[in-house]
Amino acid sequence: MAITAYSKSFKRELDVEQLKRLFNDHLKDKNFAEFVKIDIECPCCGVVGARVVNESISPISNIAVKQAHFAFKNNNGVDAHLLFCDYYSGQDSLIHVEKDSVINLSRSGNEVTEAIRKLVCSAIYNNYFNQSDIRNMRKWFYEMRSNQDILVEYSKHQLNVLRKSITRSKRNDEKYIVDKELLKNDWFDLDEEVYESLATNFMYPYDIRDINGLNYILSKKSIIRKAISLSKKNHGMYEFDRSRLDEKYKLATRLSLHIIDHSEFFYQKLGRSVAKARANNPLMAYSATLLFVNDWDFKKSCRMHLDITLSTYVGENLGNTIGLNPFIHYDAWIALSYSSKWSKRHIGFDFETEFEKEKERLKILYGI
């Protein structure tokens, strides 16, 4: 359900109550339901035909159990959002994890998020960019991810074997060596040993050196875990190749670091770390917005950020401040994309079957 939606008349993203207040102040001679149907657009895919669904109150507790929202349905009562929309929940039940990329800056107790919200509101108040720009950015991202580049398959074993082909222990360089001394360690993990063993079937993937940072990405267990999670959630679906965003990802990272470097507050809260900058979704969303409205020009974006920080800020609630971090889970998607191509080079190797066989063999050898 869409808690907020874009009003063409008021040129901003609003929730139901905000829209009603503006409507009553300026357009109360019109029919509200008809106005909503024509005026309100999905802020992501741009469909119209919305209707307001009022909040639901529990008759027992007298507490709201469902927030008022906008519903987009066609004449047959079916979800009207386009397939790759943030709010799509059609009959095929495809739920896209890119919904994580939408960052609600208006509801947060986090100090960094609050600071970013004020910067965004100041930018809107002083006309550096507006909610139409943010809406256009979401549409740009929608069009980007509508490209069906890669068929996602559940890839737990493939990703783990690939990681071990890069990072496996020196004792297993040529073949897997059983080491029962490992059983004395609390951290002993039989599955990890299975992946160590299976990785000896594969050469080191030298082509990862052709992609900047890929060696690091594939060696990080936390990134591989996220890639596995994405492969499970999106199994059987087509996704766009995140490498299309590579240059923009680097620019957004560079701008985020620039913002941290020139702010004592952000430096104290985040430190000057590429990993921490990239992990902060509101900061990356703000950087991406500055770059988007400046045609991805780094210097212009830096100047705009400086101007925003020096601007007078009085607006506390300019509609709903919704940002977009198009780079969320970027490293995990790159790992998953490469793993898909790498697995196709080894089409004759049944990863699931070989994992189970090797696990049973190592259970016996380790006496588990």
CB 133 within 8 A of CB 211: no
Give the residue with greater pLDDT, 316 vs 350. 350
Same domain, 110 and 34: no
Least confident of 130-144, 236-250, 278-292, 328-342: 130-144
Tell me what the mean pLDDT of segment 159-184 comes to: 94
CB 287 within 8 A of CB 252: yes
Least confident of 135-139, 191-195, 221-225: 135-139
Same domain, 154 and 294: yes
What pLDDT sits at residue 107?
Answer: 62
Using 50, 70 and 90 to split pLDDT, how confident is the model at 58? low
Same domain, 127 and 77: no
Give the residue with greater pLDDT, 66 vs 62. 66
Same domain, 101 and 61: no
Looking at 48, 76, 95, the residue that finishes a domain is 95
Least confident of 42-46, 122-126, 166-170, 299-303: 42-46
What pLDDT sits at residue 97?
Answer: 45
Mean pLDDT of the chain, nearest integer: 87
Using 50, 70 and 90 to split pLDDT, how confident is the model at 93? very low
Same domain, 229 and 343: yes
Same domain, 257 and 354: yes
User: Domain residues for 173?
Assistant: 96-368
Same domain, 119 and 197: yes
Tell me what the mean pLDDT of segment 129-158 comes to: 88
Same domain, 114 and 217: yes
Same domain, 338 and 282: yes
Q: Which residues are CB-contacts of 244 (< 8 A; sequence separation ≥ 6)?
A: 144, 147
Could you give the dihedral angle defined by the CA atoms of residues 243, 248, 249 and 250, in that order, rounded to the nearest 10 degrees? 110
Give pTM, 2 decimals: 0.78
Residue 331 has pLDDT above 60, yes or no: yes
Looking at 42, 77, 95, the residue that finishes a domain is 95
Same domain, 360 and 279: yes
Using 50, 70 and 90 to split pLDDT, how confident is the model at 293? very high
Least confident of 246-250, 258-262, 310-314, 320-324: 320-324
Looking at 49, 64, 95, the residue that finishes a domain is 95
Tell me what the mean pLDDT of segment 348-361 comes to: 97
What pLDDT sits at residue 312?
Answer: 77
Same domain, 77 and 143: no
In 3D, which of 98, 60, 90 has the Cα closest to residue 73? 90
Amino acid at 140: W
Residue 183 has pLDDT above 90, yes or no: yes
CA distance to 25, 128, 349, per residue, from 359 (Å): 69, 59, 16
> Positive or negative, the Cα torsion across 154, 156, 162, 166?
positive
Could you give the dihedral angle defined by the CA atoms of residues 50, 51, 55 and 59, in that order, rounded to the nearest 10 degrees? -140
What pLDDT sits at residue 286?
Answer: 96
